[in-house]
A and B are shown apart, each in its own frame.
Chain A
Amino acid sequence: MKALGRVALYLALTLAALTFIYPFLWMASTTLKPPFEVGTLTLVPDQMTLDNYRTMWARAPFGRALLNSALVATTITAAVLVFGSITAYAMARLRFRGRPALNAATMAVLLVPGQLTLIPLYTLIVQLGWIDTYAALIVPYLFNATAILMLRQFFLQIPQSLIDSARMDGMGELRILFTIFWPLSRPVLAIVAIFTFMGSWNEVLWPLLVVREQHLMTLPQLLTVFALGGGAGSIGVSLASAMVLVVPVVIAYAFLQRHFIESMAGSGIKG
C-alpha cells in the first residue's frame, strides 16, 4: 500500500509544517484582536482592530528603532561587502609576507567563542566613550571573519589570466577588484549580504550592552525592553511590536527563501 504511505507522509508533513507556521499566523492575528479575544485559537478576529499597533507606536519610539536597525544593518552589510572584498582580494590574489599569518589569525578568530571577548569589547567601548553612539553598534562589526573567508575562497577560483591582462591594461588592484571580480562574484556576494544583514538585524545582546538611550535602540532591542519593561501592558501590544521586526523579514524571505537558506545554512550562522 505505497499510496497509503504517501498520504500519511503528506499528512505528517502538513502537521509538522503547521507547527512551524501557525505560531506566526497566530501572532499576526493576535495583534489585530481586541484584548478580550486574545488567547483564543481563532485566526480571524471577530473584531479586527489596529489599537494594539497604535498603542505600541505611541508608547515607544518604534519608528526610530526601525530606522536605527535599518541604518546599522545596511551600513554594516555595505562595509562587510566592501572592506571584506578588499581584504579577501588581498588575501587571495596578492602575495605579501604577512599573508599566512593573517590567514591563520582569521581562522583562529572564528574558533574563539564570542562570550570570551564580550566583556573586554564592552570595556573598550566604554573607554572610547562610545556608549550610546552608533559607533558602538557599527564599528565592531565592520569586518566579518566568516565573510572574508568565504569571499577569499571564491576569489581563489577566479583565473589568474583575468588579473594579468587587467594589470597589463594598467588597472590598479582596487579597480580590478570592483570591475572584474565583483561582477563574477554575485552569488557569493548575495550570500554574504544576506547573512550579514540578517545577523545584524536580529542581533540583540550587543545593543543591550552598549546602548541605553531609547532613541538609539535597535528594533529587537527596543522590542525586548518594551515587552519586558511592562510598557506593553498587554500581549497584543507586545506582539504588535514583534510584528514590526518580523514582517520585513518574512516578506523578504517569502520572495528570496532559496537565497536565505543557501546563505544562512552555508555560512553556519543562525539568526
Chain B
Amino acid sequence: MRAEERSGWLLATPYSAFLAVFALYPIAFAVVLVFLQWDLVTPPSFAGLDNVRRLAGDGRFWQAVANMVVFLSIHIPLQIVTALALAMALNRPLVLRAFWRAAFFLPVVISGAVVAILWSTLYATDVGLINHLLVRMGLRPVPWLTDPVTAMPAIAVMVTWKNVGFYIIIYLAGLQYIPRSCQEAIEMEGATTWQRFRHLTLPSLLPQTLLVVTLSTINGFQLFIEPYVMTGGGPLRRTNSLVLYLYTNAFSYQKMGYAATIGVALALMIGAVVALQRRLIGTADAQ
C-alpha cells in the first residue's frame, strides 16, 4: 500500500500543480480582481466596490445582457425544433443514413471563425447569397447584419445552423430508447401521428430536451467570435455579447478589474439560468 500510495501521489502531482496554478488560482483571483483596478502596466490598486457599482449602471453591459436574451429566446426554441425534427426524420432505416448524419454534423467540426466569415458573406446586403435568393424570389433584400433589429436574430439563426448536428445526435440517442412496443401500443390505442408525438415521443425526450436547453444556453453565453467577426458588436451595440464586451474591456481598454467583474457576473448569470431551467423543465429522470 505504501508503494502504491507513493506512486499515486507522484503521478497525480503534475495535474494537481496544474490545477492549482491554472484552475484554482484563477478562480480565486477572479473574485479578487473584482475589487481591483489594473491596467497591467501600473501596479493594481484597490477599488473597493467601484467595479460592481459601475457594472450596475453600465448601459453597455445591460445592453449586452438584453442582447443575450434576444439571442437565447430565438436560438433555443429554434435549436430544439430543428434538431428534433431532423432527428425524427433520421430515426428510421434510410438509404445513405450515414451521409445525412454526416452532412448535418459537418458545421459542428468547422471553426466558428470560418462559419462566421462565411455567413458574413452570405448575409452581405449586396452580394450575399441569401439576399440574392430573396431577390430571385421577388422579395426585397434585407440588410441582415446592419439593421439593429435583424442583426442578433441573424446571428442566432447561424449559430443554430452550426450546432444542430450536435443536438441531432443527442435526440437520436434519446429516440432509440423509446421502446418499440410502446410505440406499437400507443398506435393500437388509436393515436394519430401527432398524438403519438405529443403523448409518447415528446415526454420521453424530456431529459434530452433539458440537455439541449442547458448546453445551448451555456454555449450561447459564450458567444464571441460571431459578433466579433460579423458585426463588431454593432449595429448600435445590438449584437454585443457579454464575452465580447469582456474581451473589449480587457484587450482594448486595458481594464482588468472591470473585465473580471463582467466575467464573474457572467458566470453567476449562467449558473442562475441553468439552475432555473432545471427547475422549470423538471429533473430529467433517466428511465
**CB within 8 Å of B: which residues of A?**
9-10, 12-13, 16-17, 19-21, 23-24, 26-27, 30, 38-41, 83, 86-87, 89-91, 94-99, 102, 105-106, 109, 112-124, 126, 139-140, 142-143, 145, 148, 172-174, 198, 201-202, 204-205, 208-209, 220-221, 223-224, 227-228, 235, 238-239, 242, 245-246, 249-250, 253, 257-258, 260-261, 264-265, 268, 270-271
Residues of A contacting B111 in the complex (Cβ-Cβ under 8 angstroms): 201-202, 204, 220, 245-246, 249, 271
Residues of A contacting B100 in the complex (Cβ-Cβ under 8 angstroms): 13, 17
Q: Which of B56-100 contact A (CB under 8 A)?
A: 86, 89-90, 94-95, 98-100
Q: How far is the CA of A26 from the CA of B111 in the complex (A)?
A: 17
10 A-B pairs closest in CB distance:
A96-B8, A94-B8, A39-B127, A120-B26, A90-B11, A202-B111, A117-B26, A116-B267, A17-B103, A120-B29
CB distance from A265 to the nearest CB of B (A): 4
Residues of A contacting B144 in the complex (Cβ-Cβ under 8 angstroms): none
Other A-B pairs beyond A143-B15, A260-B109, 11, CB < 8 Å: A10-B94, A13-B94, A23-B122, A96-B12, A113-B270, A205-B243, A223-B114, A239-B118, A245-B111, A261-B105, A271-B108
Task: Give 1 or 0 for each of B20-33: 1 = CB within 8 Å of chain A CB.
Answer: 01111111011001
CB distance from A118 to the nearest CB of B (A): 6
A174, closest chain B residue (CB):
B11
Judging by beta carbons under 8 Å apart, are B22 and A140 in contact? yes
Which of A16, A112, A148 touches B27 (beta carbons < 8 Å)?
A112
Judging by beta carbons under 8 Å apart, are B267 and A112 in contact? yes
Q: How far is the CA of A12 from the CA of B104 in the complex (A)?
A: 13
Given A120-B260, A123-B29, A238-B117; A94-B7 close (CB under 8 Å)? yes
Judging by beta carbons under 8 Å apart, are A121 and B5 in contact? no
Tell me if B1 is interfacial: C-beta within 8 Å of chain A. Answer: yes
Residues of A contacting B222 in the complex (Cβ-Cβ under 8 angstroms): 113-115
Given A13-B89, A20-B106, A26-B129; A265-B170 close (CB under 8 Å)? yes
Residues of B contacting A202 in the complex (Cβ-Cβ under 8 angstroms): 110-113
Judging by beta carbons under 8 Å apart, are A227 and B117 in contact? yes
Judging by beta carbons under 8 Å apart, are A120 and B16 in contact? no
Could you tell me the dominant secondary structure of chain B's interface residues? helix
Q: How far is the CA of A227 from the CA of B4 in the complex (A)?
A: 54
CB distance from A235 to the nearest CB of B (A): 5
How many Cβ-Cβ contacts under 8 Å join chain A to chain B?
262
Residues of A contacting B121 in the complex (Cβ-Cβ under 8 angstroms): 27, 30, 235, 238-239
Judging by beta carbons under 8 Å apart, are A271 and B267 in contact? no
Residues of B contacting A173 in the complex (Cβ-Cβ under 8 angstroms): 7, 11
Which of A13, A115, A139 touches B221 (beta carbons < 8 Å)?
A115
Segment from B174-182, B195-203, B246-254 that makes contact with A: B246-254
CB distance from A143 to the nearest CB of B (A): 5
Tell me if B107 is interfacial: C-beta within 8 Å of chain A. Answer: yes
Which of B22, B110, B242 touches A121 (beta carbons < 8 Å)?
B22
Judging by beta carbons under 8 Å apart, are A224 and B25 in contact? no
Given A23-B122, A102-B12, A268-B215; A115-B246 close (CB under 8 Å)? yes
Which of A39, A106, A209 touches B251 (beta carbons < 8 Å)?
A209
Judging by beta carbons under 8 Å apart, are B12 and A87 in contact? yes
Judging by beta carbons under 8 Å apart, are A253 and B242 in contact? no
Which of B23, B89, B118, B228 touches A23 (beta carbons < 8 Å)?
B118
Task: Give 1 or 0 for each of B211-242: 1 = CB within 8 Å of chain A CB.
Answer: 00001001101101100110010000000001
Tell me if B149 is interfacial: C-beta within 8 Å of chain A. Answer: no
Judging by beta carbons under 8 Å apart, are A89 and B11 in contact? yes
Judging by beta carbons under 8 Å apart, are A116 and B117 in contact? no
A124, closest chain B residue (CB):
B26
Residues of A contacting B112 in the complex (Cβ-Cβ under 8 angstroms): 202, 204, 271
Tell me if B153 is interfacial: C-beta within 8 Å of chain A. Answer: no
Q: How far is the CA of A162 from the CA of B15 in the complex (A)?
A: 25
Residues of A contacting B46 in the complex (Cβ-Cβ under 8 angstroms): none
Judging by beta carbons under 8 Å apart, are B256 and A27 in contact? no
CB distance from B251 to the nearest CB of A (A): 6
Q: List 29 A-B contacts (CB under 8 A).
A: A10-B94, A13-B89, A13-B90, A13-B100, A16-B86, A21-B106, A23-B118, A83-B15, A94-B5, A99-B8, A106-B19, A116-B30, A116-B266, A120-B30, A120-B33, A121-B22, A124-B25, A124-B26, A143-B15, A143-B18, A172-B7, A174-B11, A202-B112, A204-B225, A223-B114, A228-B228, A253-B106, A258-B98, A270-B166
